[in-house]
């Protein structure tokens, strides 16, 4: 049974057909970058996103023929509000990186409600306040999975899965339903919220596509990546290095000991829900990873393509003391300092283009090591090796820097975005393509394993982070 996967990330989307042997039969991609109309704002065109998703799905199906089911993987917490009758968005899609609602989050914190600005809750409230201040319109609130399922089913289903619902800031801590206190505080009507469903299971049909195949999985991109890299057993961990960087550790049916945030800056997550059973994990986050390479390319113009970062960095053996802290949007795990900003330290007259580019790659790798240390401490689970995917894993300089910084073997995913496989595996479990989790675990076969070399100077790295911290004090005081 072949599975069509629609996979929508922060900077682009793709459609792929996955065969029963977990190989990809065909794939099409399209960039879809968010816009930043002002500092701290991140928006996207929700209508264009939906149209592109349907178009790419139709294109790949024209190449492969019919499929047995559809799976959806998506960027999480990005939020859309639309008119139930017309399907038209009432405003821009608000991206997960958007910080426009920091003030609202601070107000809620004073009232004893802790919702981070990268969650959906205050984004949805902002969109509703702009479009329907009196709350008289019949509107739908959703994350990207909800929006795509709505369009694929031509408005027949308004759902979200537990993995996406759990990062909205609106789900109860036990993941059993929406938190009515938060909904009422933000004036989000319960009727506007999607129904929370299992991550695997038939929830409707994609009537917008030929043959109307069943929609059989919804899953947040980070959890999809964990599943796609075979991380379905307790203690297995992966990091996805895309626009941001996310580490996820699978813990099984036991919920983490903390409700909101661990002592070391990690969050409890729902890894997936199947047959009504919720499984849990711990997530550590860096707010900008590949964004830093895009900055080198698009803003500084010192590389032409992302791949050039490896070529340029290879022109020097070391950064010669130059250290870069990738805090363009603040620092996430472990310290969560929204007022931190990127820092380039240790420059001399001899510091050149290669040293700066290498320092950027090494800084992202050091942040990866921060995530590993924090996740081990907050989960109580040792992480002996790292499974990695995402666009940055095509960069050999970065991969070696990551192995050196973490002092762990780095196992590289055989596909660049394992999210596609993860969504396919869940849909396939629902349809009987794969028999169970052991079948999924057995598919893992890294294309490369990078052994760690000499350890990096982690004390100097921590000192550099201290220099980058607190640059905007009023934001640095925000805690969630």
Instruction: Output DSSP code: residue 275.
Output: T
**What is the structure's pLDDT at 97?**
85
The tokens of 305 are what?
């393509």
The class level of CATH for 3-222 reads: alpha beta
CATH of domain 231-412+447-480: 3.30.420.40
The tens digit of pLDDT for each residue in 140-167 reads: 999 999 999 999 999 999 999 999 999 9
Q: How confident is the model at residue 39 (pLDDT cuts 50, 70, 90)?
A: confident
The tens digit of pLDDT for each residue in 269-292 reads: 999 999 999 999 999 999 999 999
Count the alpha carbons within 13 Å of 202 in the hemisphere toward its beta carbon.
10
Q: Hey, which residues does 14 pair with through a beta bridge?
A: 7, 29
Phi, psi of 241 (to 5 degrees): -105, 90
* Residue carrying structure tokens 């017309």: 86
* Residue carrying structure tokens 């899609």: 93
Instruction: Output DSSP code: residue 395.
Output: -
Give the rounded percent of residues in the chain with a pLDDT score beyond 90.
Answer: 91
As a whole number of angstroms, the distance between CA 213 and CA 57 comes to 12
Q: Where in the chain is the domain with CATH 3.30.420.40?
A: 3-222, 231-412+447-480
Q: What average pLDDT does this structure show over 90-111?
A: 92
Please state the three-class secondary structure of 113-129 as a single string: CCCCCCCCHHHHHHHHH
Torsion of CA 431, 434, 440, 444, to 10 degrees: -120
Q: What number of residues does the chain have?
A: 480
pLDDT score of 477 more than 80: no
**What is the structure's pLDDT at 222?**
94
The tokens of 15 are what?
């459609």
Averaged confidence pLDDT in the chain: 96
Phi, psi of 325 (to 5 degrees): -100, 115
As a whole number of angstroms, the distance between CA 415 and CA 148 comes to 23
Strand (E) positions, 276-359? 277-286, 323-325, 343-345
Instruction: Output DSSP code: residue 194.
Output: P
């Amino acid at each position: 049974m072949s599975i069509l996967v629609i996979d929508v990330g922060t900077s682009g989307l793709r459609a792929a057909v996955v065969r029963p042997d977990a190989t990809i039969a065909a794939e099409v991609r399209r960039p879809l970058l968010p816009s930043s109309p002002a500092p701290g704002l991140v928006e996207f065109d929700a209508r264009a996103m939906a149209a592109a998703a349907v178009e790419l799905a139709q294109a790949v199906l024209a190449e492969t023929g019919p499929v047995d089911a559809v799976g959806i993987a998506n960027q999480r917490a990005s939020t859309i509000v639309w008119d139930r009758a017309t399907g038209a968005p009432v405003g821009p899609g608000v991206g997960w990186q958007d910080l426009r609602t920091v003030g609202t989050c601070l107000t809620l914190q004073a009232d004893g409600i802790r919702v981070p600005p990268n969650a959906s809750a205050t984004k949805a409230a902002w969109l509703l306040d702009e479009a329907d201040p009196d709350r008289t319109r019949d509107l739908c609130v959703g994350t990207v999975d909800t929006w795509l399922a709505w369009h694929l089913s031509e408005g027949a289903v308004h759902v979200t899965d537990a993995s996406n619902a759990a990062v909205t800031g609106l789900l109860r801590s036990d993941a059993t339903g929406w938190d009515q206190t938060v909904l009422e505080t933000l004036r989000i009507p319960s009727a506007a919220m999607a129904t929370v469903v299992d991550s695997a299971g038939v929830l409707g049909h994609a009537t917008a596509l030929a043959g109307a195949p069943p929609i059989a999985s919804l899953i947040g991109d980070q959890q999809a990546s964990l599943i796609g890299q075979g991380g379905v057993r307790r203690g297995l961990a992966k990091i996805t290095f895309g626009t941001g960087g996310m580490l996820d550790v699978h813990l099984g049916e036991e919920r983490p000991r903390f409700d909101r945030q661990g002592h070391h800056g990690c969050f409890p997550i729902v890894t997936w829900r199947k047959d009504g059973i919720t499984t849990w994990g711990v997530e550590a986050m860096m707010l900008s990873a590949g964004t830093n390479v895009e900055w080198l390319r698009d803003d500084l113009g010192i590389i032409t393509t992302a791949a050039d970062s490896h070529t340029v960095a290879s022109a020097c053996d070391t950064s010669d003391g130059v250290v870069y802290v990738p805090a363009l949007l603040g620092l996430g795990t472990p310290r969560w300092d929204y007022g931190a900003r990127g820092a380039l330290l240790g420059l001399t007259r001899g510091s050149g283009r290669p040293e700066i580019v290498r320092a950027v790659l090494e800084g992202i790798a050091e942040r990866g090591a921060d995530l590993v240390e924090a996740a081990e401490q907050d989960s109580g689970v040792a992480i002996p090796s790292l499974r990695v995917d995402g666009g940055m894993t095509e960069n050999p300089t970065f991969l070696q820097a990551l192995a050196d910084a973490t002092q762990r073997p780095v196992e590289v995913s055989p596909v660049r975005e394992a999210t596609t496989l993860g969504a396919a595996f869940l849909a396939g479990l629902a349809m009987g393509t794969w028999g169970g989790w052991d079948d999924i675990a057995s598919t893992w076969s890294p294309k490369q394993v990078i052994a760690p070399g000499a350890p990096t100077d982690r004390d100097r790295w921590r000192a550099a982070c201290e220099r980058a911290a607190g640059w905007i004090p009023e934001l640095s005081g925000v805690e969630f």
